[in-house]
Amino acid sequence: MQKYILRRVLLAIPALIGLTIIIFLVMRILPGDVLTVMFGEEGTLQLSEDDRQRIIASLGLDKPIYLQYVDWLEDIVTLKLGQSFWRSHTVMDLILNRGPITLEIAILSVILSWVIGLPVGILAAMKRNSALDYAGRFFSILFLAIPNFWLGTVIVLTLVLTLEWKAPLGVINIWEDPWKNLQIVWGPALVLGLGQAAYVCRMSRSALLETIHEDYIRTARAKGLAERLVIMRHALRNAIMPVITLSGVLLGFLIGGSVAVEQAFGVPGLGRTLVAAFFERDYVVIQNLVLLYGIVFVFVNLIVDISYAWIDPRIRYS
Amino acid sequence: MAQVNPATTTGAEGEVLVQEEARAPQGWWWVIIHFCQRNPMGGVSGVMIIVIVAIAVFAPWVATHHPTQEADFRALREEPSAAHWMGTDDIGRDLYSRVIHGARISLFVALVAVVVGDFLGAAWGVAAGYIGGRFDIYSQRFLELMMSFPTLILAMILVLAMGAGVWTVIVAIGITRVPIAVRVIRSVTLSVKEYAYVDAAQAIGASSTRVMIRHIAPQCVAPWLVLATAHLGSVIILEASLGFLGVGVPLPTATWGNMLGGPVAAGLIPRWWMVIFPGLAITITVLAFNLFGDSIRDALDPKLRGRT
């Protein structure tokens, strides 16, 4: 097992280096120069030559391109991650300040998707073509079609119009004031969790339906086990695998999706910081936050692979 | 008679043709009717899609006002009424007309992005699967990297890199489809490659290009259609998300995402009709495409039934 984990971790390293190269290249193929992107066509024309040079130097863009890349790698390895152009924050400050809320939303919504999606999926598979099965399928199809940011906007609007309730403003971490923190994160977590529950429900239903027809399940039934035990102890163990992979994929999807949902709820998480950086054309912040999203994605996949091997011993030895 | 009627040709070939005609007497109509009988949801969603596409194509005639230029400053943020069926927005534009015109942009962006992105991905997938070796390994590694970004964020930085505009949004969204299409079509290619008729084609000296185009690609058409219809729904949501975040098709173009995002970005509390109608438009359209995609999948590829 240790050997397997080590091998997977080592495989992640080239992936991370590849990420930095891709982001670096995309940020350098910006049409025109960075200044135009940051200040707009007209803004650039109004800059004096001195200002131009100063800004370019402060962004490190006067150096040859390979040195720029090496500088960035150095920033990453030393965890400095550069500085916001418009504010005094370093990108690391932003991540430490805004990151916990986004992480909380992601974890809560994954938990929620399992708590809702898994039981519904299991019951739907056990009682195939029952009313519950149809209801589950109907809602999962519906939730796949509803854009999460719209659902978020509708919830915010409904609460404002009927209860005149708004989530507290600003960054309030769970260790500072758990109750207020919960008021901030519940909305995005609910919306993202419901959307994911639709996938989890669909996947667990179809995976379970497939496993139920295997020989070893018939054996388990033949030896007189209660149906509940057959499902819980035998069928679920195999059926859960695709659901775990799916959750991994979804978690990546979720950190992307949370950008729009945070915007809808006005939650000051990383996603909203990224959107703000896009509007301010805050070059350094965008570059590093996108890298962070990529890194998280790679690590989620790593954890999925490892948990896969942990649940299914066959994978470790192949 | 200048043309030879296939049914009257004699010999073995003629018999085959007659048999085929007997199996599908009404041609395309028969296929469509048969499809609707076996997939009632597919039929219903197909009709929904036809209606939505018709609305998009004939938007200027379906709409009652101009989507961007007709702003009535005496009717700001007005409730739905006989004059404005879905109310008006913050600067007095008719919401109904904007939703109708939004269908145009959404469908256009989605269709072009999916066709181009998935087509490129499919061509790449066939090549990677058939040629194999180093080319396959490197392209797999590269595509894995592309897939390491959440789709929305990948699309966002691509739009940033290329500058805002309808075409850059299309390209950005199309690029997010490529790795998925490569993965699916490559795996189809890998299994098709093993068939004896591919060996036969190689044995009689067909070039790699010919084998890929004439013998492998046709087998990929059905899975490609399944993939592309499934992508249409998710791409419409992606485009709307970009618009909602303010990095999609630039203002003042009326897109569903822009309509929802405008008030939120401005920090205003929107009126209910400004939120409900564009959102419903997205949901209904995506629902139609998803249901249709599911039915297409069931019809073309029964092995995938009930999966994903």
Residue A317 has pLDDT above 60, yes or no: no
User: What are the backbone angles phi and psi of residue B88, rounded to the nearest 5°?
Assistant: -125, 160
* Cβ–Cβ under 8 Å, residues B97 and B67: yes
Contacts of B283 in chain A (CB under 8 A): 145-147, 150
CA-wise closest residue to B278 among A188, A194, A257, A147: A147
Residue of chain A with shortest Cα separation from B238: A147
B residues 118..147 contacting A (CB < 8 A) = 141-142, 144-146
Contacts of B294 in chain A (CB under 8 A): 141
B108 touching A (Cβ < 8 Å): no
User: 3-state class of A233 per DSSP?
Assistant: helix
pLDDT given for residue B13 in this prediction? 42
Distance (Å, rounded) from C-alpha A202 to C-alpha B51?
29
Query: In this prediction, what percent of chain B has a pLDDT beyond 90?
Result: 6
Contact A209 B306 (CB under 8 A): yes
Distance (Å, rounded) from C-alpha B184 to C-alpha B119?
12
Per-residue pLDDT of B99-144, as tens digits, reads: 888 888 889 999 999 999 999 998 998 888 888 888 888 888 888 8
On average, the pLDDT of chain B sits at 78
Average pLDDT (A175-179) is 71
Per-residue pLDDT of B5-18, as tens digits, reads: 444 444 444 444 44
Which of B119-123, B266-270, B275-279 has maximum average pLDDT?
A: B119-123
Per-residue pLDDT of B15-55, as tens digits, reads: 444 444 445 456 778 778 877 777 777 778 888 888 888 88
User: What are the backbone angles phi and psi of residue A96, rounded to the nearest 5°?
Assistant: -65, -35
Most B CBs within 10 A among A150, A250, A292, A304, hence the mutation to make, goes to: A150
Distance (Å, rounded) from C-alpha B67 to C-alpha B55?
14
Residue B72 has pLDDT above 90, yes or no: no
Report long-range pairs for A71-76 (Cβ below 8 Å, ≥24 apart): A72/A20, A72/A24, A72/A287, A73/A20, A75/A288, A76/A20, A76/A288, A76/A291
Contact A290 B153 (CB under 8 A): yes
pLDDT band at B203 (very low <50, low <70, confident <90, very high): confident
User: 3-state class of B93 per DSSP?
Assistant: strand
Beta bridge partners of B94: B88
Distance (Å, rounded) from C-alpha B245 to C-alpha B260?
9
pLDDT given for residue B224 in this prediction? 86
B residues 224..253 contacting A (CB < 8 A) = 233, 237, 240-241, 244-247
Contacts of A202 in chain B (CB under 8 A): 308
Distance (Å, rounded) from C-alpha A147 to C-alpha A132?
24
Residue B185 has pLDDT above 90, yes or no: no
User: What are the backbone angles phi and psi of residue A64, rounded to the nearest 5°?
Assistant: -60, 155
- The label of the residue with tokens 């996938």 reads A199
Distance (Å, rounded) from C-alpha B253 to C-alpha B164?
12
Q: What is the DSSP letter of B304?
A: G
Contacts of A255 in chain B (CB under 8 A): 150
Closest by Cβ to B279, choosing from A154, A206, A297: A154
pLDDT given for residue A169 in this prediction? 67
* Cβ–Cβ under 8 Å, residues B193 and B185: no
Distance from CA of A287 to the nearest CA of B (A): 9
CA-wise closest residue to A270 among A107, A95, A106, A76: A95
pLDDT given for residue A245 in this prediction? 76
Distance (Å, rounded) from C-alpha B149 to C-alpha B168?
18
Contacts of B307 in chain A (CB under 8 A): 206
Beta bridge partners of B88: B94
Distance (Å, rounded) from C-alpha A184 to C-alpha A189?
10
User: What are the backbone angles phi and psi of residue B269, rounded to the nearest 5°?
Assistant: -90, 115
Residue of chain A with shortest Cα separation from B150: A256
Residue of chain B with shortest Cα separation from A146: B283
Query: In this prediction, what percent of chain A has a pLDDT beyond 90?
Result: 0
Rounded-to-5 percentages of helix, strand, coil across chain B: 75, 0, 25
CA-wise closest residue to A72 among A12, A21, A16, A18: A21
Distance (Å, rounded) from C-alpha B159 to C-alpha B172?
6
Closest by Cβ to A298, choosing from B148, B163, B240: B148
Query: In this prediction, what percent of chain A has a pLDDT beyond 70?
Result: 86
pLDDT given for residue A33 in this prediction? 60
Distance (Å, rounded) from C-alpha A131 to C-alpha B230?
26
User: 3-state class of B167 per DSSP?
Assistant: helix
CA-wise closest residue to B265 among A167, A186, A278: A278
Per-residue pLDDT of B232-246, as tens digits, reads: 888 998 898 888 888
Beta bridge partners of A90: A83
Residue of chain B with shortest Cα separation from A292: B149
pLDDT band at A185 (very low <50, low <70, confident <90, very high): confident
Closest by Cβ to B150, choosing from A14, A22, A252: A252
A225-238 core/surface letters (b: 16 or more CB in 10 A; e: else) = beeeebbeebbbeb
pLDDT given for residue A281 in this prediction? 75
pLDDT given for residue B174 in this prediction? 92
Cβ-count burial of A110 within 10 angstroms (0-12 exposed, 13-18 middle, 19+ buried)? buried
Cβ-count burial of A254 within 10 angstroms (0-12 exposed, 13-18 middle, 19+ buried)? buried
Distance from CA of B293 to the nearest CA of A (A): 12
Contact A209 B287 (CB under 8 A): no
Residue of chain A with shortest Cα separation from B233: A145
- Size of the A and B interface in Cβ pairs below 8 Å: 136
Which of A167-176, B74-83, B161-170, B268-277 has maximum average pLDDT?
A: B161-170
Residue of chain B with shortest Cα separation from A276: B245
The four Cα atoms B210, B211, B216, B221 give a dihedral, to 10 degrees, of 10
pLDDT given for residue B11 in this prediction? 42
HSE-CB for B46 with a 13 A CA cutoff: 13
State ipTM: 0.80
Distance from CA of A189 to the nearest CA of B (A): 18
pLDDT band at A277 (very low <50, low <70, confident <90, very high): confident
Q: Within its chain, how far is the Cα of B289 from the centroid? A: 8
B290 touching A (Cβ < 8 Å): yes
Tokens encoding A286: 């965008």
pLDDT given for residue B9 in this prediction? 40
Distance (Å, rounded) from C-alpha A270 to C-alpha A101?
8
Lowest pLDDT segment from A18-27, A226-235, A277-286, B22-31: B22-31
Looking at per-residue pLDDT, the higher value among B82 and A180 belongs to: A180
Model confidence, pTM: 0.82
* Cβ–Cβ under 8 Å, residues A105 and A157: no
**H helices of B132-195, where?**
133-146, 151-162, 166-192
Beta bridge partners of A83: A90
Looking at per-residue pLDDT, the higher value among B139 and A227 belongs to: B139
What is the 3 state secondary structure string of A41-53? HHHHHHCCHHHHH
pLDDT given for residue B116 in this prediction? 93
Looking at per-residue pLDDT, the higher value among B75 and A213 belongs to: A213
Contacts of A15 in chain B (CB under 8 A): 144-145, 148
* Cβ–Cβ under 8 Å, residues B248 and B169: yes
Residue B73 has pLDDT above 70, yes or no: no
Closest by Cβ to B144, choosing from A15, A154, A161: A15
Per-residue pLDDT of A97-141, as tens digits, reads: 888 888 888 888 888 988 988 888 888 887 777 788 788 878 888
Tokens encoding B275: 């939120």
